Structure 1
Amino acid sequence: MSDFRSIGDLSSSLRLRHLNARLKADAGRLGAELASGRAADMVRRTNGDLGRLNGFEHGLGMLKAYGTAASEFLTLASAMQTALGAVEHQAADTGATLVAASNTLTSASLGAGADAAREGFRAAVGALNTSIAGRALFAGRAFDTPALAGADTMLAELEGLTGGAADAGAVRAIVADYFDDPGGGFQTSGYLGSAETAGTRRISPTETARADILASDPALREVLKGLATAALAGGGGPSLDLSARADLLRGSGEALLTAVDGVVDLQAALGATEARVEAAEVASSAEASALETTRNAAIAADPYRTATELQNVEIQLEALYLATSRLSQMTLARYLR
């Protein structure tokens, strides 16, 4: 008889253990839902419609990708604006300096003007060789190479080409050929980037953007040409008298002041693209926020229902512990008889 009672006790003990494990699991699940506000069983919460939930996640992933593309574009565009601003500054300031220097026919004044142009050329080339995270900004698809050869390298080549020039007009013609001729030195060895502009970036389901300014852009070449021409008035290239040197500085200064407008146009066009990208970024952020709110509502656990169920489970656990304690006492009493 005692054997049958032992088997019965064992069966009751196993049932209680299983019930205890289930109630503990329910308590853990409900506690997690109450803390996170999200349902633990998504299949049950969505009535088996996981496709809708996957649609939310896909949409949020795409919007995040658009936001990243827009942010990266704006970072590059900001750096490009800074570089273009430096080039525009060199054109305006150096242009005014050259015009002023050309009015004084002294070797010192003309030499100072030529030196200013040389430094301006170096600064402009440096600005156009700007890179962000190892990516050249003005080299088109040639991301991993500087857009331009070194400033001193190009000036040395121009000094060699103009060494035999007899007057300012001849110097200007040679420099113009260097920068403007499709087969000239600038195209063959001065500009190191790609002829193809950087690709477009998709910034929304319906919009793309591109920053397609190359260091070989005509507006930028005009600035480089004006600075380089004036730099040749300082010696090392053609042997010119004071009058010819003054003529070279004056013509270059006036050309630089005119070239400012072209650089400003590039800045304005890039600025318009920046504004469009910023608007798309804001729209994507707002859409992502709305979609996330909808998704959270779809997977949210009802806090009142969850708290009520958790309380019921806790009551059942307390009752189970009490029953287990009584069963243990009864089993011990039987054993002692």
Structure 2
Amino acid sequence: MKTTFISTVTLWNSPRSSLDRLQESLTKANTELTTGRHADVGLALGYKVGESLSLRQQRAEIDTLTDSNSVALQRIKTTDDALNSIRDDATKFRDALVGLPLNPPVEIIKNQAEAYLSSLISNLNTSVGGQFVFGGINTKADPANDYAGGGPPSLKDLVAGAYSAPTASGGFNIPQSDPAVSGITADDMNDFLDGPFKAIFEGTGWSALSNASDQNIQSLISPTEKVETSTNANTTPMRQVAMAYTMIFDLGIETLSPAARNVVLKKAIDVLSTAVSGLIDVQATLGTTQAKTDTATERMALQKSIYDERIGHLESVDPTEAKVRVDQLMTQIQTSYSLTAQLKQLSLINYL
């Protein structure tokens, strides 16, 4: 027959053996009550934990795309506001040129053209969040230089060079400020505008003013859809607007004969009209992109709700049941402490 020694110390330590386990269970129960999900998802779900992780990854991708769409929509909105300003200026100046009298106030319209060109450059350098919206993928550099800046040569230098080039090259062999420009015929001016002058803005000479990339930003607006979410300063309407302003203020129209001046004014009106239509097309394209992005964001919001529901079905705990477990564990721990206190009072000394 085997006997077991029973001591007061053994009785004291008996409740302590389960106290650590109770406290660990209480910590998990409190976590589940606070977060609404299993404290140890892997342990609770077992082989289904892979499904939970996959759902969370897909939901995270949607969150990332939603944030990206928010940035893209802000860029589109900022771009559209700048395009509105550019189009309004071009429309106002075109209408002002159409309404000019037979003897136009040349100095006034020259100053207006120069001011509108400065406004165009300012609008092209619009930025949001530290990124230039008309730079294409080149979002870190100013898309547009000043008319007399950039280069060398600057756009102003190129225009002056084309104007004073030999007649065999399509120029007039005199600078714009020379009084002899009064002898330029209407036909010669028309050939210059459609030839060397136009080539500056349509060709590589445009890079004297523009630092933008021809490639626009492409954004993934949903897991399966990618669209262009920007425009750039190199589009045809931008070149045309700049060309119209330049021909008014930097071709010496104050000294030209009335016939040659009328050629310049009419050409500027025609170019601005074409540019305004082109700007509307650019805005329409951005509007379509904005609508697609909004639709994609709404669709992903629905997908996110579905993922949240499925994740909740896998990982969530019943808050009522979690609260009951917390209360029970608290009661057990308090009982354990109470028993320990009572056992400490068990001593033979008390009975001697």
TM-score tier, shorter chain, comes to 0.7 to 0.9
Residue matched to 2:261: 245
* 1:251 shift after superposition: 2.7
User: How many pairs were matched up?
Assistant: 323
Residue matched to 1:313: 329
Q: Does 1:218 align with 2:214?
A: no
Q: Which moved more, 1:160-169 or 1:30-39?
A: 160-169
* 3-state SS, counterpart of residue 284 of structure 1: helix
Residue matched to 1:105: 103
In 1, the alpha carbon distance for the partners of 2:231 and 2:31 equals 54
* 2:83/2:283 contact within 8 Å kept: yes
Residue matched to 1:139: 135
> Is the helix fraction higher in 1 or 2?
1
In 2, the alpha carbon distance for the partners of 1:28 and 1:90 equals 67
Residue matched to 1:257: 273
Residue matched to 1:266: 282
Residue matched to 2:305: 289
Q: Does 1:175 align with 2:197?
A: yes
Residue matched to 2:213: 194
Residue matched to 2:34: 35
In 1, the alpha carbon distance for the partners of 2:29 and 2:140 equals 55
Q: Which moved more, 1:308-317 or 1:111-120?
A: 308-317
Residue matched to 2:169: none
| Counterparts in 2 of 1:22 and 1:131: CA distance versus 1, 3 Å | same
* 1:128/1:148 contact within 8 Å kept: yes
* 1:8 shift after superposition: 2.6
Aligned-residue identity in percent: 20
| Counterparts in 2 of 1:112 and 1:170: CA distance versus 1, 3 Å | farther
The residue type paired with residue 326 of structure 1 is Q
* 1:99/1:254 contact within 8 Å kept: no
* 1:110/1:246 contact within 8 Å kept: no
The residue type paired with residue 175 of structure 1 is F
* 1:323 shift after superposition: 1.9
In 2, the alpha carbon distance for the partners of 1:98 and 1:159 equals 24
CA deviations on 1:127-178 (whole Å, 9 max, x unpaired) are 1222333323223332222222213442454244325362442552332121
**Unpaired runs of at least 5, structure 1:** none
In 1, the alpha carbon distance for the partners of 2:71 and 2:219 equals 9
In 2, the alpha carbon distance for the partners of 1:320 and 1:110 equals 100
Q: Pairwise CA RMSD of aligned residues? A: 2.5
* 2:107/2:254 contact within 8 Å kept: no
* 1:90 shift after superposition: 1.8
* 1:54 shift after superposition: 0.8
**Unpaired runs of at least 5, structure 2:** 150-154, 165-173, 175-180
* 3-state SS, counterpart of residue 324 of structure 1: helix
* 2:216/2:232 contact within 8 Å kept: no
* 1:114/1:231 contact within 8 Å kept: yes
The residue type paired with residue 269 of structure 1 is T
* 1:199 shift after superposition: 4.2
Select which of 126, 142, 153 maps to 1:130: 126
| Counterparts in 2 of 1:171 and 1:125: CA distance versus 1, 3 Å | farther
Select which of 118, 129, 145 maps to 2:114: 118
* 2:16/2:336 contact within 8 Å kept: no
Q: Which moved more, 1:149-158 or 1:64-73?
A: 149-158
User: What are the residue-to-residue correspondences of 1:54-133 with 2, within 5 Å?
Assistant: 54-101=53-100, 103-106=101-104, 109-133=105-129
In 1, the alpha carbon distance for the partners of 2:330 and 2:209 equals 79
In 2, the alpha carbon distance for the partners of 1:117 and 1:97 equals 11
Residue matched to 2:152: none
TM-score (norm 2): 0.82
